[in-house]
């Protein structure tokens, strides 16, 4: 079947877009989706997830940590500038989105947070390449002077609660500008219950870039190019996946970022998951041949987004259309602070 951008559209009432986290991480709903259209949908609570795993299953989490990646400054002319870091490309350089009344030219100096200067080195596509001071690590500067970046569909400024709630409880490696949101539902109690059921855990690191919110601008999906994201598959994770396969367990990717790291690494190594580090531009559409993940925990994604295309490839296009229509009708909460789904990979 040939898909166009409009195939991944759906009507979403604006009041279903979650603007705040719930009082408890695990208080969200969980839509369990199995192949079979509306007959394969089961409305549950996220706290039911431990009952849905099996002894010997492996949950793979993304342990990236969200940076304070939004910074404010002024050009030498006095004009205001907003910088959203896309990703670090070294200890003192970064790619970033930049908003200003007039685009700065290469060589322009911007005073950030009344604390330090950055220099515009040039453009790389839609991003600016920026040089930061060499007397301090880029990450440390960002963390001290920046603001937590909430997604553009959350129509408010970040509050104190977001400092903890827009991070997973297992976040360890700073580098993302958006949270791996499926992981936000897990707390220590649910993790302990999963382990008591015989499930095992493994971790990947994929640093989510600001490009994750960029819309698809072409009707012909073959012409779309994904943003690059850095990932790392530790040896322990590659070994855990192999051991899970050997014992007949399922690999459950927690979030589309974990899935993209696993499948991107496998694709780079002829379908075999090995310990590695690299960058992925993997664009997953229906028809994709998944090599690693058997199940996926994920949130509800934007209309016409690459993430909606990914889950449609994973669980089946018709199945996902039915699931999203059901979720809207049942008033599930959508996007980063919204409810969750548990998907099983459809048969090829």
**Tens-digit pLDDT profile for residues 233-278:** 999 999 999 999 999 999 999 999 999 999 999 999 999 999 999 9
- 72-75 — which CB contacts under 8 Å span 24+ positions? 72/112, 72/113, 72/147, 73/110, 73/111, 73/112, 73/113, 73/118, 74/110, 74/111, 75/100, 75/104, 75/108, 75/109, 75/110
Q: Which of 184, 182, 181, 176 is nearest to 211 (CA)?
A: 176
How far is the C-alpha of 301 from the C-alpha of 85, rounded, in Å? 22
Q: Token pair of 341, please? A: 């789904």
CB 327 within 8 A of CB 5: no
Low-confidence winner among 46-55, 170-179, 185-194, 222-231 (lowest mean pLDDT): 222-231
Q: For position 40, what pLDDT does the model report?
A: 84
Query: What is the CATH number assigned to the segment(s) 5-66+162-344?
Result: 3.40.1780.10
93, 127 contact by CB (below 8 A):
no
Is the pLDDT at 27 greater than 80, yes or no? yes
Where in the chain do CATH 3.40.1780.10 domains reside? Answer: 5-66+162-344
| Widest distance between CA atoms in the chain | 64
CA angle (48 as vertex; 45, 54 as ends), nearest 5:
150
Kindly report the average pLDDT of the chain as a whole number: 94
Please compute the mean of the pLDDT values over residues 38-47 and round it to a whole number.
88
Helix/strand/coil (H/E/C) assignment for every residue in 183-252: HHHCCHHHHHHHHHCCCEEEEEEECCCHHHHCCCCCCEHHHCCCCCEEEEECHHHHHHHHHHHHHCCCEE
**Could you tell me the pTM of the whole model?**
0.95
- Hey, which CATH number is domain 70-145, 2.40.50, 2.40.10, 2.40.160, 2.60.40? 2.40.10
Percent of the chain with pLDDT over 70: 98
User: Hey, what are 127's tokens?
Assistant: 């991003």
Domain ranges in the chain with CATH number 2.40.10: 70-145
């Amino acid at each position: 079947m040939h898909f166009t951008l409009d195939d991944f559209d759906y009507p979403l009432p604006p009041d279903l877009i979650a603007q705040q986290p719930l009082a408890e991480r695990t208080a969200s709903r969980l839509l369990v989706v199995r192949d079979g259209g509306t007959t394969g949908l089961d409305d549950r609570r996220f706290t039911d997830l431990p009952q849905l795993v099996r002894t010997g299953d492996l949950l793979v989490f993304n342990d990236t940590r969200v940076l304070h990646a939004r910074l404010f400054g002024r050009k030498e002319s006095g004009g205001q500038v907003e910088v959203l870091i896309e990703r670090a490309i070294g200890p003192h350089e970064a790619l970033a989105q930049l908003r200003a009344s007039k685009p700065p030219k290469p060589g322009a100096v911007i005073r950030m947070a009344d604390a330090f200067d950055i220099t515009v080195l040039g453009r790389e596509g839609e991003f600016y390449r920026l040089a930061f001071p060499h007397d301090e690590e880029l990450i440390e500067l960002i963390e001290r002077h920046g603001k937590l970046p909430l997604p553009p569909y959350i129509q408010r400024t970040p509050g104190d609660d977001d400092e903890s709630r827009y991070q997973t409880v297992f976040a360890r490696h700073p580098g993302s500008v958006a949270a791996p949101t499926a992981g936000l539902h897990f707390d220590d109690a649910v993790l302990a219950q999963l382990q008591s059921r015989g499930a095992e855990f493994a971790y990947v690191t994929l640093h989510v870039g600001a490009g994750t919110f960029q819309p698809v601008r072409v009707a012909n999906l073959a012409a779309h190019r994904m943003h690059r994201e850095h990932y790392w598959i530790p040896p322990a994770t590659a070994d855990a996946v192999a051991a899970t396969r050997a014992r007949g367990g399922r690999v459950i990717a927690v979030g589309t970022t974990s899935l993209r790291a696993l499948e991107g690494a496998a694709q780079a190594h002829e379908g075999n998951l090995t310990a590695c580090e690299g960058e992925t531009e993997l664009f997953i559409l229906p028809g994709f041949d998944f090599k690693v993940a058997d199940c996926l925990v994920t949130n509800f994604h934007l209309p016409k987004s690459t993430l909606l295309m990914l889950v449609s490839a994973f669980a089946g296009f018709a199945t996902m259309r039915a699931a999203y229509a059901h979720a809207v009708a049942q008033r599930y909460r959508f996007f980063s602070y919204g409810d969750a789904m548990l998907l099983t990979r459809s048969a090829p």
